[in-house]
Every structure is written in C-alpha cells, then in structure tokens.
Amino acid sequence: GQSLEQPSEVTAVEGAIVQINCTYQTSGFYGLSWYQQHDGGAPTFLSYNGLDGLEETGRFSSFLSRSDSYGYLLLQELQMKDSASYFCASLLNNRLAFGKGNQVVVIP
C-alpha cells in the first residue's frame, strides 16, 4: 500500500508561497527526498533531508521532523515555471516509495 501521503492539488498566484506536506510510515525510514515533475516530463531531484531541520536551496526549502513522521517542501516567490507535480520519496524498509504527488498550478 501507499506509505507516503500527500494532498492532491493547490493553486497559487505568482510571487506567493506554497507549502507541500508529506507524512510517512516510520519503520525503516532513512530520509525524505523531493522531486519535481513537469507535465509530460520526468521527475527531477530537488532536495533531501536526512536529519531534522530545514534545508534551503534557492527559492525552495525542505523540512523534516522525524519525531512527527512529517516533512514539507516550501516553494517561495512562485514563478509560472513552478507549475508542476511535486513528490516526496523515501527509503522505507529498503524500498524507495514515492507519494502520489501534489500538483501546483501557478496563475498570473
């Protein structure tokens, strides 16, 4: 069954901030990765959190709280090109599992 849970869709205006949440099962957890996938494209790596706390990469930040089995991806200063699906992924019980993804639609 599905081990990572993500809400499905969010619409936001250019310049806004969007937070995408991800909860996961705890057994065998090694860390949380985030991938971006544009429509018709391939997933591309955005960030990884192996320890609790915030990782910042330009306009994107990712956070992990292992005690809460929870992480999020923060997209700041949204641009039209950020319209895409965002997946959390984690190594759970030695198998990589992806969430169903969260589609972000950026509007002018």
Partner 1 sequence: DAGVIQSPRHEVTEMGQEVTLRCKPISGHNSLFWYRQTMMRGLELLIYFNNNVPIDDSGMPEDRFSAKMPNASFSTLKIQPSEPRDSAVYFCASSLAGLAGGQETQYFGPGTRLLVL
Least separation in angstroms between CB 106 and partner 1: 21
Minimal distance in Å, beta carbon 19 to partner 1? 20
Give me the residues that bind partner 1 (CB under 8 A), please.
2, 30-31, 33, 41-45, 48, 50, 87, 90-91, 94-101
Q: How far apart are CA 56 and CA 36, in angstroms?
A: 16
| CB neighbourhood size of 106 (10 A) | 20
Q: Report the residue number, 36 or 78, with the smaller CB distance to partner 1.
A: 36
In a 3-state reduction of DSSP, which class is residue 26? coil
Instruction: Using alpha carbons, select from 39, 3, 68, 41 the residue that is nearest to residue 49.
Output: 68
State the minimum distance, in angstroms, from the CB of residue 14 to partner 1.
27
CB nearer to partner 1: pick between 15 and 28: 28
Q: Residue 58 or residue 108: which is nearer to partner 1 going by CB?
A: 58
Query: What is the rounded distance in angstroms from the CA atom of residue 35 to the CA atom of residue 20?
Result: 12
